[in-house]
Amino acid sequence: MTIKKENITIYQIYPKSFQDSNGDGIGDINGIIQRLDYIQDLGVDMIWLTPVFISPMKDNGYDVADYRNINPLFGSMEDFDRLVLEAKKRNIEIMLDMVFNHTSTDHYWFKEAINGNKKYKDYYIFSDHKTNWKSKFGGSSWEYVESMNQYYLHLFDVTQADLNWENPNVRQELYDIVNFWISKGVRGFRFDVVNLISKPEIFEDDYEGDGRRFYTDGPKIHEYLRELNKETFGKYSDIVTVGEMSSTNLKDCALYSNSEHTELSMIFSFHHLKVDYKDGQKWELDTFEPKKLFDMWRTWQIDLNINSGWNALFLNNHDQPRSVSRFGSQKYHSESAKAITTALFLMKGTPFIYQGEEIGLPNAHYNKLDMFKDVESLNYISSYSDVKSKENMLEILNQRSRDNGRTPMIWDKTPHKGFSSSMPWLDYTLSEHAVSVKESIHDQNSILAYYKKIIAFRKCSKVIQEGDIKFLELENPNVFVYERILENETYRIITSFSKEIENYNSDVSEFEVVISNYEINTLSNINQLLPFMTLVLKKNHCN
Ligand code: TEU
Ligand code: CA
């Protein structure tokens, strides 16, 4: 099969938490190789690995100190080469994570810069004055370097210094890195927070916000992405790219993912993952109203389609709490996991499954603050411990911490869950709803079995891959309905996001049931939907 954004499903691996092969409690590349048959059996076409490069791991690899070598924690370059080869044998390609907005302050370039090497000083953003911009991980986004009497910019952690994309030498270095990995057989790239790389010419205080309006989707962003494309992956027809777009907008995203292929294949946007934030604040809890999610999905689908852009379809990744805990239900754990994925993955775009999602892995449900390990969570605890109680912070972290998505995989129910032979670097989820891969494989009704069904269905359906999308029943607060249409075929996908039985009337006599998360084979009239019921219905106009 030729790799095309329309017909592939991508599986994201967070290597640290996937499979440990040497008993140090940390997942590694050889562990991934051991699990390739499982991944192939799922039916996915590409694996995205979050960063496995040399790194002090302050931000779990998003602080890269050497882009061309593998972190010994994860293995060696030989291991990586074997992974590429073994994956290809199974018709699976590898996507790497390129963190090009910033490097670790341990990177040779940064060390040279603060040692007074002028060439490398111009690789970063140094300034005599700081602005009032906030780092995305808390605190100021400028750090003072005494020996230079200057500040450097870090939009993320203080150990993640922003690169100066204005400098053509920096851009060339980064393009060479992409080409290096292409020559190793890599066929996919995810570009981390790539819409933040173009900074303004003048740095000024932001009196309306935290500074992001000055550098998000910045002045030269499209110019830089076009150059990156032209100098690297744009020379090949079988490479898939996705840009992570932080706090972005529809207009730029249509350009980033335009069908002329001058920038990237597709985008990750996050507006749909802020629908349960109170007043946009990550650390403030709010009740989830499904209609807010539906509205956001519809907006992004319709707008990117009209403007020839392309969405990545996802609810989970290593920065997000688990979708089943967030938008689903504990009581209807299995039904809700299946419903959510049906609604999401049959829309127009490229689906991304995040490790563990396919077995319905829930949030961490930790019972102690010190079980959290993520730099963002630790910064949160230290900045709020004076104003919030421990219980309150624990409740919030159990819903919002990035560690919810980073707990190790549960392969079986032995003490170390088949993940490792010793204590894992981060505790397993304590949730009683966690089901192992082993249990799932033997259960025809498992979430895993259902994911396989959806992936396989998508793979052989041109309508789902390429058809138009039309949304119905826009005012319904709990039921999400759309049709996918191509030539003489129509699929109607109806999904309830309600824990209750929904009164819902619809004449579907022209349709047949193709997939459902409840045992239903035929139906002519719908009167009600059971909790988290999903139905994939098909109408053939020639009949
Ligand atoms: O994430 C960017 C990003 O904006 C998120 O970290 C976001 O701020 C956070 O999830 C909100 O709570 C990317 C990577 O995915 C993330 O793991 C890195 O920490 C970050 O970039 C810096 O490289
Ligand atoms: Ca290991």
Packed helices 447-459 and 333-345: angle between N→C axes, nearest 10 degrees: 10
What's the pTM value of the predicted model, to 2 decimals? Answer: 0.97
Q: Which atom of ligand 1 is nearest to the CA of 157?
A: 22
Contacts of 295 (CB under 8 A, 6+ apart): none
Q: Which atom of ligand 1 is nearest to the CA of 282?
A: 12
Q: How many residues does the chain have?
A: 543
**Alpha carbon distance 21, 15 (integer Å):** 11
pLDDT of residue 306: 96
pLDDT of residue 522: 74
The residue-averaged pLDDT of 403-409 equals 98
Q: Count CA atoms within 13 Å of residue 50 on its CB side.
A: 23
Write out the DSSP string of 397-452. HHHH-GGGGTSPP--SSSTTTTT-SS--SSPPP--TT---HHHHHT-TTSHHHHHH
Q: Which ligand is nearest to the CA of 138?
A: 1
The residue-averaged pLDDT of 530-535 equals 98
pLDDT at 245 over 90: yes
Task: Dihedral sign for Cα 315, 328, 13, 23, please.
Answer: positive
| Residues 216 and 256: beta-carbon distance below 8 Å | no
pLDDT of residue 521: 75
**Alpha carbon distance 255, 309 (integer Å):** 7
Q: Whose C-alpha lies nearest to ligand 1, atom 2?
A: 193
* Residue of 319, 373, 375, 377 to test ligand 1 pocket, by largest number of atoms within 8 Å of CB: 319
Does 112 qualify as catalytic in the annotation?
no
Task: Please indicate whether residue 97, judged by its CB atom, sits closer than 6 Å to ligand 1.
Answer: no
The residue-averaged pLDDT of 333-362 equals 98
* Residue of 97, 136, 210, 376 to test ligand 1 pocket, by largest number of atoms within 8 Å of CB: 136
Write out the DSSP string of 15-79. GGGT--SSSSSS--HHHHHHTHHHHHHHT-SEEEEPP-EE---TTTTSS-SEEEEE-TTT--HHH
| Residues 479 and 473: beta-carbon distance below 8 Å | yes
Per-residue model confidence as pLDDT tens digits over 57-102: 999 999 999 999 999 999 999 999 999 999 999 999 999 999 999 9
pLDDT at 409 over 80: yes
User: Chain-wide mean pLDDT for the chain?
Assistant: 97
**Alpha carbon distance 505, 481 (integer Å):** 13
CA distances from 378 to 134, 153, 396 (A): 17, 21, 13
Q: Whose C-alpha lies nearest to ligand 1, atom 6?
A: 319
pLDDT at 234 over 60: yes
Tokens (6 digits) for 233: 């992956």
Distance 506 CA to ligand 2 centre (A): 53
Per-residue model confidence as pLDDT tens digits over 481-494: 999 999 999 999 99
The residue-averaged pLDDT of 269-276 equals 98
pLDDT at 543 over 60: no
pLDDT of residue 524: 79
In 147-191, the DSSP E strands lie at: 150-153, 160-162, 188-191
Q: Which atom of ligand 1 is nearest to the CA of 376?
A: 12
Distance 26 CA to ligand 2 centre (A): 4
Q: Which atom of ligand 1 is nearest to the CA of 320?
A: 10
Distance 419 CA to ligand 2 centre (A): 10
Placement of tokens 């972190």 in the chain: 71
Does 223 qualify as catalytic in the annotation?
no
Distance 415 CA to ligand 1 centre (A): 31
Split at pLDDT 50, 70, 90, the class of 437 is very high
Q: Which ligand is nearest to the CA of 377?
A: 1
pLDDT of residue 525: 83
Per-residue model confidence as pLDDT tens digits over 129-173: 999 999 999 899 999 999 999 999 999 999 999 999 999 999 999
Task: Please indicate whether residue 192, judged by its CB atom, sits closer than 6 Å to ligand 1.
Answer: yes
The residue-averaged pLDDT of 186-191 equals 98
Q: Whose C-alpha lies nearest to ligand 1, atom 15?
A: 319
Task: Please indicate whether residue 162, judged by its CB atom, sits closer than 6 Å to ligand 1.
Answer: no
Per-residue model confidence as pLDDT tens digits over 30-52: 999 999 999 999 999 999 999 99
Split at pLDDT 50, 70, 90, the class of 216 is very high
Residue 357 identity (one-letter amino acid): E
CA distances from 198 to 208, 216, 265 (A): 20, 8, 20
**Alpha carbon distance 175, 159 (integer Å):** 23
Contacts of 241 (CB under 8 A, 6+ apart): 188, 189, 190, 191, 229, 233, 264, 265, 266
Write out the DSSP string of 187-214. -EEEETTGGG----SS----SSSSSHHH
Task: Please indicate whether residue 191, judged by its CB atom, sits closer than 6 Å to ligand 1.
Answer: no
pLDDT of residue 510: 92
pLDDT of residue 523: 79
pLDDT at 540 over 80: no
Tokens (6 digits) for 368: 């102690």
Q: Whose C-alpha lies nearest to ligand 1, atom 18?
A: 62
pLDDT at 204 over 60: yes
pLDDT of residue 33: 99
pLDDT of residue 501: 97
Which of the following is catalytic: 97, 244, 263, 376? 244
Q: Which ligand is nearest to the CA of 420?
A: 2
Nearest to 193 by CA among 309, 10, 292, 63: 63
pLDDT of residue 542: 67
**Alpha carbon distance 518, 445 (integer Å):** 10
In this structure, what are the phi and psi dihedrals at residue 381, rounded to the nearest 5 degrees? -60, -45
Task: Please indicate whether residue 282, judged by its CB atom, sits closer than 6 Å to ligand 1.
Answer: yes
Instruction: Give the three-state DSSP class for 125.
Output: coil
pLDDT at 457 over 80: yes
| Residues 461 and 512: beta-carbon distance below 8 Å | no
Task: Please indicate whether residue 246, judged by its CB atom, sits closer than 6 Å to ligand 1.
Answer: yes
* Residue of 163, 191, 193 to test ligand 1 pocket, by largest number of atoms within 8 Å of CB: 193
Q: Exposed/middle/buried for 46, CB within 10 Å: 0-12, 13-18, 19+?
A: buried
